[in-house]
Amino acid sequence: MLVCLRADVDRHPYAQLHVVQTPHQAIPKRFMELWESHFIPHWPQPSIIPRDLERGDAFENVAFLGNSVNLVTELQSQVWNDQLKSLGLRFQTKLSHDEWHDYANTDVILAIRSFGRQNSWRGKPASKLYSAWHSGVPAILGYESAFQAERKTTLDYLEVTSVEEVIFALRQLRDDKELRQSMVQNGWIRAKETQPDVMVEKWQNFLMHTALPAYKSWCSMSQLQQQLFFSSRRAVIKSRPLYYNLKSSLSKILK
């Protein structure tokens, strides 16, 4: 039996189980047996260096940590840098994998792949939010389902859908020290949800209570039943537009 870790691509055509990056991608068996999918959060960024406490209440450095393709175009222009300069802020882009763990000199992170409310990034995980919580840094994030699924209060992160809203959020954080401190303290609490021991327990539960029973069930099927499973998958793959329409409808029902 094959268990596929889906990551940023499509489901494996013949895997009996999938592990997905966002709750939006999860599909309980009772709703669609062919594509049973289970959400497990990403492990936090390894070896995170949290914000340097000696920086005190300083609010100067706005950082993006990640691949440049995952930064909205508007925040890669000279106009954007000039806007930040007028606010007394600096924009830092940490594009190398070797920099993604280092938040020592970061006062706030930006993670925005696109503006608006299209929610076009439903397959992306909430990793940048987890990292912000673990590093003691407030986060300004785009309109994405993975972030929204994790949000319990407005202290978890600030959501923006335009450059104007980014500027407003930065002004708000710059001028409200208590808000920054509250977001950081809230982040330390939320970070406990993705601590290594918690993540190990999630994987143990999945393997013991989902994957193992599914394996036993698969092995108990006749060869004909197994072949019917694969034949059904092939039929779905050939009619993929229909499958995505069904998936979209299912997601609306589950909401």
Q: Do 130 and 241 lie in a common domain?
A: no
Write the CB contacts of 71 (distance below 8 Å, at least 6 apart in sequence). Answer: 64, 93, 110, 112, 113
**In-domain check, residue 48:** no
Alpha-carbon span 51 to 138, nearest angstrom:
10
Q: Kindly report, residue by residue over 192-228, the tens digit of the pLDDT.
A: 999 999 999 999 999 999 999 999 999 999 999 999 9
Alpha helices in 151-206 (DSSP H): 163-175, 177-191, 196-206
Whether this model's pTM surpasses 0.85: yes
Give 113's Cβ-side CA count (13 Å radius): 20
Structural domain that includes position 18: 3-40+203-254
**In-domain check, residue 189:** yes
Q: Do 165 and 135 lie in a common domain?
A: yes
Number of domains in the chain: 2
**In-domain check, residue 231:** yes
pLDDT of the chain along its 255 residues, tens only?
999 999 888 888 889 999 999 998 998 877 667 789 999 999 989 999 999 999 999 999 999 999 999 999 999 999 999 999 999 999 999 999 999 999 999 999 999 999 998 877 778 999 999 999 999 999 999 999 999 999 999 999 999 999 999 999 999 999 999 999 999 999 999 999 999 999 999 999 999 999 999 999 999 999 999 999 999 888 887 776 554 555 555 555 554
Q: Do 188 and 210 lie in a common domain?
A: no
Q: Do 66 and 172 lie in a common domain?
A: yes
Alpha-carbon span 87 to 18, nearest angstrom:
46
**Strand, coil or helix: 172:** helix
**In-domain check, residue 47:** no
Q: Do 30 and 76 lie in a common domain?
A: no
